[in-house]
Amino acid sequence: MKMKKKILDILKRRGIVYPSFEIYGGASGFYDYGPIGSRIKHNIENLIREYYVIWEGCFEVECPTLSPEKVWIASGHVKNFTDMLTECLKCGESYRADHLVEEHLGISCEGKSIDELYELIRGNEIHCPKCNGTLDRVYHYNLMFKTEVGHPGKIWYLRPETAQSTYLAFKRLWEIGRKQLPMGVLQIGRSFRNEISPRQGMIRLREFNQAEIQFFVEPEKKFSERFHEVSNIKAKMVTKDEKEVVTSLADALRRGIIKIEMIAYFLGRSIQLFEEMGIKRDSLKLRQHKDEERAFYSSDTWDIEFVSENLGRIELVGISDRTDYDLRAHMNLSGEDMTVNYEGKKFIPHVIEVAYGIDRPFYCVLESCLVEEKERTYMKFPRRIAPYLAAVFPLVNKDGIPEKSRGVFELLRKNRVYTLYDQSGSIGRRYARADEIGIPFCITIDYDTLEDNTVTIRDRDTKEQKRVKIDEVVDYIVKV
C-alpha cells in the first residue's frame, strides 16, 4: 500500500480526519477533525501557543471570522486577493489557469498575466480535463467568501487570514501592552478561501486553521536579541533567484542570503517547533518568494516547506516583512491614527508576520511519524502530540478486572492524564489500535494486578513491557 493511501486509510478508520458533509455527498476543501484528530490538532496548536506566549511573550487574541467590506477594501484583499480562473465552455467546470498550464506543459507560470496564460492555453490546445471542452478566457477571481450581515446589501467577508483582525485592534493592544516594542500578538483561528477546485485533501482547504503572529516593531529594528540561540541551525535554502545553498542561519545572514535578522530568527524557531511536532528536520526547506509570487502586502517572504513523499512541496509557514503596509492602509481608510510615539520618534510600526497553517503541519506530522514494520504500523508521535498519553486495557471483562481497571483509569484522569479506556477485542488488537493512533503507553490490568497491585506498561516504540506498581504509574508515564 502506498504511504498516502495508508495514511488516508488510518485517518478514516481511526476517526482522525474525514470528509465533511459526507452523508450529503461531501464537498472538496472541507474536512472534519474526529475525536482523535481534534486531540492532535489541539496539541499542535498548544505547542505553537506555548512557543509564542511563553517564549516570545506574545499576547493572544481571538477576533471574529466575519468582517465588514471596508476592512478588506483597506487591506487590499478586495482588489488583489485573486487567482486566475478559466472555465470550460461545455461543462462549466472551473480551473486555476496557472495550475492547468503547469500540469500540461511542465513549466512554471509564476508571474504570468491572464492574457499570457490564455495564449498558452489556446496555443497549446489545452482543453477541459473533464470533458475535453474548450476553455474560456482567463480572469481574476477573488478568493474571499462574501455574505451579508444584518441589512441586505451590506457586504461582509469571511476572513482569508487572521492577521487583519489583529491589526484593527492595534491601538488598543498598544495601550494594553504599555506601549512597548516589539509587541507580538498571536491569533489562532479559522480562515476561509474559496479555492478553485481544491484536489489535494487537507493541503488546500476552503475552511482552514491558522496560527498567525504579528510582531509590531520599530522600522529600523528588525533584530532579535535571541538570534544566537538558533544561529547555528543549518538548513537547505532556495533564494528568490533560485540559488540553492545549505548553510547555517548565521551564515545566511552574514552573506545577505537572508536579509532580515528577525526573519532568520523565526525561521530557526519554526524549524525547532516543527521538529518538536515530530517533523524531521531534513524534510524541511527554506524558500524565499520570488518578486512576482510575493503577496501584495509583503516586501520579503520566506516559507518553510515540507518535502512530502506523496504530495511534493507543502508550505507550512510564511514569514514576511509586511512593513507598515497594513496599519497605514487601515489608518487611511478608517481615519484612526496608527502612529506611535516611541523613544522620541513618531512612526507607524512595521510588522514581521509569522503565519502558520495548522492543517498542513498536521498532515506532515502524520506523514513523518508513520512507521511501518513487518507486523505492525504505528505513529511515532512525540508525547506532546499524541492524542492520549496512555490507554488502559482490562485483560478480561470478568473476575473483578474491569473494576480494578476503572480504578487505574480514574487515577490517571484525576492526574489530568489524557487516557483512553479500551475493553474490546484481544489484547493484540487493542495494542494495534493504540499503535495506529500513536498512544505512547498501554497499561494492562490482569490477574496479578488483583494480587499485587502492579500493572503491565507497554512502550509503543520498543514494545518493551514493565511491571509497575499502580501508585507509581502516573510518575512512570509522565517521567519516563
**Residue ranges that bind ligand GAP, judged by CB under 6 A:** 161, 163, 193, 195, 204-205, 208, 210, 212, 315-318, 353, 355, 357, 359-360
Task: For ligand GAP, give the closer residue by CB, 163 or 185.
Answer: 163
CA–CA distance, 473 with 67 (Å, rounded to integer): 50
DSSP string, 385-442: TSS-SEEEEESSSSTTHHHHHHHHHHHHHHTT--EEE--SS-HHHHHHHHHHTT-SEE
Distances (CA, A) of 4 to 10, 274, 369, 370: 10, 20, 13, 11
At its nearest, how many Å lie between ligand GAP and the CB of residue 274? 11
Task: For ligand GAP, give the closer residue by CB, 167 or 174.
Answer: 167
Task: For ligand GAP, give the closer residue by CB, 214 or 449.
Answer: 214
Task: For ligand GAP, give the closer residue by CB, 100 or 205.
Answer: 205
At its nearest, how many Å lie between ligand GAP and the CB of residue 317? 5
At its nearest, how many Å lie between ligand GAP and the CB of residue 203? 6
Q: Per the structure block, which three cell numbers stand in for 367?
A: 506523514
For the chain, what is the radius of gyration of the CA atoms? 25
Q: How many CB atoms lie within 10 A of CB 46?
A: 14
Task: For ligand GAP, give the closer residue by CB, 313 or 469.
Answer: 313
Phi and psi at residue 48, to the nearest 5°: -65, -45
At its nearest, how many Å lie between ligand GAP and the CB of residue 234? 22
Q: What is the dihedral of CA 159, 60, 267, 31, to 10 degrees?
A: -50
Task: For ligand GAP, give the closer residue by CB, 305 or 435.
Answer: 305
At its nearest, how many Å lie between ligand GAP and the CB of residue 309? 18
Query: Which single residue brings its beta carbon nearest to ligand GAP?
Result: 357
Give residues with Cβ within 8 angstroms of 245, minimum separation 6. Answer: 236, 237, 239, 252, 257
Distances (CA, A) of 208 to 41, 195, 299, 360: 12, 11, 25, 9
Q: What is the DSSP letter of 472?
A: G
Task: For ligand GAP, give the closer residue by CB, 21 or 447.
Answer: 21
Task: For ligand GAP, give the closer residue by CB, 195 or 218.
Answer: 195
CA–CA distance, 303 with 281 (Å, rounded to integer): 14
Cβ pair 35, 15 in contact under 8 A: yes
Helix axes 261-277, 359-369, angle to 10 degrees: 50
At its nearest, how many Å lie between ligand GAP and the CB of residue 212? 5
At its nearest, how many Å lie between ligand GAP and the CB of residue 117? 21
At its nearest, how many Å lie between ligand GAP and the CB of residue 71? 14
Q: Across-strand partners of 340?
A: 347
CA–CA distance, 399 with 188 (Å, rounded to integer): 48
Number of H helices, E strands in the chain: 16, 26
CA nearest to 314, candidates 190, 220, 200: 200
At its nearest, how many Å lie between ligand GAP and the CB of residue 367? 15
Task: For ligand GAP, give the closer residue by CB, 353 or 446.
Answer: 353
Q: Across-strand partners of 144?
A: none
Q: What is the dihedral of CA 414, 415, 421, 426, to 10 degrees?
A: -130
At its nearest, how many Å lie between ligand GAP and the CB of residue 352? 12
Task: For ligand GAP, give the closer residue by CB, 250 or 365.
Answer: 365
Distances (CA, A) of 239 to 256, 304, 318, 386: 10, 12, 14, 35
Cβ pair 239, 288 in contact under 8 A: yes
Q: Position 106: which residue type?
A: G
At its nearest, how many Å lie between ligand GAP and the CB of residue 469? 45
Task: For ligand GAP, give the closer residue by CB, 317 or 439.
Answer: 317
CA–CA distance, 45 with 212 (Å, rounded to integer): 11
